[in-house]
Amino acid sequence: MKTIQLNNGVEMPMVGFGVYQIPAEATKQAVLNALHSGYRLIDTAQGYFNEEQVGQAIKESGMAREDIFVTTKQWIRGQGYEQTKQDFEQSLAKLGLDYIDLYLIHQPYGDVYGEWRAMEELYKAGKIRAIGVSNFYPDRLADLMAHFEIVPAVNQIETHPFYQREEELTFHQAHGIVQQSWASFAEGKNEIFSNPILTDIAQAHGKSVAQVILRWLNQRGIAVIPKSVTPSRVIENADIFDFTLSDEQLAKIATLDQGQSLFFSHRNPEMVKWLSEIYR
């Protein structure tokens, strides 16, 4: 599995396995399948309610801890600093691990300053190998960087052919932040798997549309965490390093960009309110 070096020197796999929306009862087997298929990055979160099952799979896999890159995320908190310390220890216990490879602020709301201060301390104490954020726009990242010592290593944001995030990618690369895509397949919206541009490119390479999308993201320097509970697709999603998209093909995919989320805006006041109230 190819890796990318984070801004603190830690190597992170460019392709990982995400467990968002996988029911807890199906998570352990899904993660075991992924690990046995060659994946070495597993992405979970406090708000996914399956950290414990991820930990069980890691333990049962028989693989060395240092060979598996584990990401988890803290949900929105109003009491940032102390709550972050507690939440981190709870995630660590559920996962059954001694350290986390990447710990993220899941949403740009609540007491993110207190959260980041706690995360910096946990990082310096060796309990986290890298810290980052998710769903932050460049202005929120700039604000965080202006007031703290450590620059986020990763920003995990919605990125797919219909929302390509060129502005964000330029900002991230200028500041040494790795962009990681969630919803790489747009959750099937806009009939993405039958899109004529993507299907033509897939046929030209003898690959699936899913593989073309993941390869397109990786070629732009964007890490990915596709999810599937179908073993054949899990294997397929990791098999993207034996072909390269041409400049002409990249230009064609660029025409698909709609410049806006297919899900919701993190700047919508009603969405901010809703996200801040769930899971309380």
Angle (nearest 5°) at CA 127 between 126 and 133? 105
Judge contact between 102 and 127, C-beta under 8 A. no
Please identify which of the residues 20, 39, 48, 279 carries the catalytic annotation. 48
Identify the band that residue 280 occupies on the pLDDT scale cut at 50, 70 and 90: confident
pLDDT tens, residue by residue, 152-172: 999 999 999 999 999 999 999
pLDDT at res. 77: 83
Is residue 7 scored above 80 in pLDDT? yes
The range of the structural domain enclosing residue 33 comes to 3-277
What's the whole-number mean pLDDT along residues 31-56? 97
What's the whole-number mean pLDDT along residues 249-276? 96
* Number of domains the chain contains: 1
Identify the band that residue 94 occupies on the pLDDT scale cut at 50, 70 and 90: very high
Cα gap 75→36, rounded to integer Å: 29
Is residue 144 scored above 80 in pLDDT? yes
48 in catalytic set: yes
The token pair that represents 30 in the structure block? 């899904």
- CATH number, domain of 87, equals 3.20.20.100
Is residue 63 scored above 90 in pLDDT? yes
What's the whole-number mean pLDDT along residues 107-115? 96
pLDDT at res. 152: 98
- E-strand ranges in the chain read 3-5, 11-13, 17-18, 41-43, 69-74, 100-105, 128-134, 154-158, 178-182, 223-224
pLDDT tens, residue by residue, 179-223: 999 999 999 999 999 999 999 999 999 999 999 999 999 999 999
The mean predicted confidence, pLDDT, of the chain is 97
pLDDT at res. 79: 80
Identify the band that residue 1 occupies on the pLDDT scale cut at 50, 70 and 90: confident
